[in-house]
Amino acid sequence: MKVVVCTKQTPSTTAVFSVNNGAVSWEDSGGKPNVVNPWDEYAVEEAIRVKENHGASQAIALTMGTPDSQEALKTCLAMGCDEAILVSDPSFAGSDTLGTARILAAALEKIDGAKVVIFGKQAIDGDTGLTPVQVARKLGWTPVTYVSAIKEIKGHTITLERLLEDGKETVTTDLPVVISVVKEINEPRYPSFMGIRKANRATIPTWSAADLNISGGVGAGASQADWSHVYAIPAREGSVEIIEGDSVEEKVAALVDKLFEEKVI
């Protein structure tokens, strides 16, 4: 059994998001390189734990992205993944979540023995949270979202805990599964110094469109979703009023009147 973690390379959390004429940009004044999508760090950690605690033979990190996404994969290797695979092809550029799911599903089919696929909850740039379920649909595997614990993997089944708004739910399902995890699931480890050394010496294979058996369209042309109108939310106007008065009692009375007037209380 192999466990595969799908990660995305995203701008770092300190990057500043802005929109100009419908074009989105992420500027990081600190000049920080792109990082593993922060939500995916929990997925990477969990994949390593599936190997450590549930007998997976290998933990593999998988990314679809531009060649520089290798950097994010190196972080996964440094944390403890055994292998990393980059799926990259000029024809993939501009894929929406469905196109991405088609590509990832084709890559996952190529990984012999992959039984558990782990995603983060969502990506901090696109924020859709759709890719995991779409990948599951393409593969015909069971999707389980909001996973907060992997309790047991036994024979052909896996038992998971889901964290929902009103409580927790325990689910047992057949393998293979595609799950997306929430941050409550674990505390991601630091990549160790030795891990960083190893990761930077590793060669990361790149699979192109020609290496995969993709069904359905990919790339900008095949995108079903179109970001027709992207705009920054206008800053909210705010104002401050300082209530004057001769005594505390007077000021409090005026404040209470004001709050009633504004229907705050």
196 is a contact residue toward another protein (CB under 8 A): yes
80 is a contact residue toward another protein (CB under 8 A): no
Among 90, 140, 190, 262, binds another protein (CB under 8 A): 190
Of 154 and 197, the one with the shorter C-beta distance to another protein is 197
- Report 234-263 residues binding another protein (CB under 8 A): none
186 is a contact residue toward another protein (CB under 8 A): no
Of 41 and 89, the one with the shorter C-beta distance to another protein is 41
Residue in this structure with the two tokens 């799908």, named with its chain if needed: 6
Q: Min. distance of Cβ 191 from another protein in angstroms?
A: 5
Of 52 and 174, the one with the shorter C-beta distance to another protein is 52
Going from the C-alpha of 84 to that of each of 50, 96, 113, 117, 135, the distances in angstroms are 16, 23, 15, 14, 19
Number of residues near another protein (by CB under 8 A)? 16
193 is a contact residue toward another protein (CB under 8 A): yes
Among 33, 55, 94, 221, binds another protein (CB under 8 A): 33
Q: Which stretch binds another protein (CB under 8 A): 112-120, 167-175, 192-200, 246-254?
A: 192-200
Contact of 144 with 171, CB cutoff 8 Å: yes
Question: Can you give the length of the chain in residues?
Answer: 265
Task: Give 17's strand partners.
Answer: 26
Q: Which one, of 11, 5, 220, 14, lies nearest residue 120 by Cα? A: 5
Going from the C-alpha of 38 to that of each of 11, 30, 164, 201, the distances in angstroms are 9, 17, 20, 24
Residues 154, 175: Cα–Cα separation, whole Å: 10
Question: Could you tell me the sign of the dihedral formed by the alpha carbons of 100, 102, 107, 113, in that order?
Answer: positive
Of 128 and 200, the one with the shorter C-beta distance to another protein is 200
Q: Which one, of 234, 236, 233, 19, lies nearest residue 125 by Cα? A: 19
Among 2, 49, 51, 74, binds another protein (CB under 8 A): 74
Beta strand spans in 81-211 (E): 83-87, 114-120, 142-154, 157-164, 167-174, 177-181, 206-207
Among 20, 192, 208, 213, binds another protein (CB under 8 A): 192
147 is a contact residue toward another protein (CB under 8 A): no
200 is a contact residue toward another protein (CB under 8 A): yes
Q: Which stretch binds another protein (CB under 8 A): 166-174, 186-194, 232-240, 256-264?
A: 186-194
Beta strand spans in 83-124 (E): 83-87, 114-120
40 is a contact residue toward another protein (CB under 8 A): no
Binding residues for another protein (CB under 8 A): 32-33, 35, 71, 74-75, 78, 190-194, 196-197, 199-200
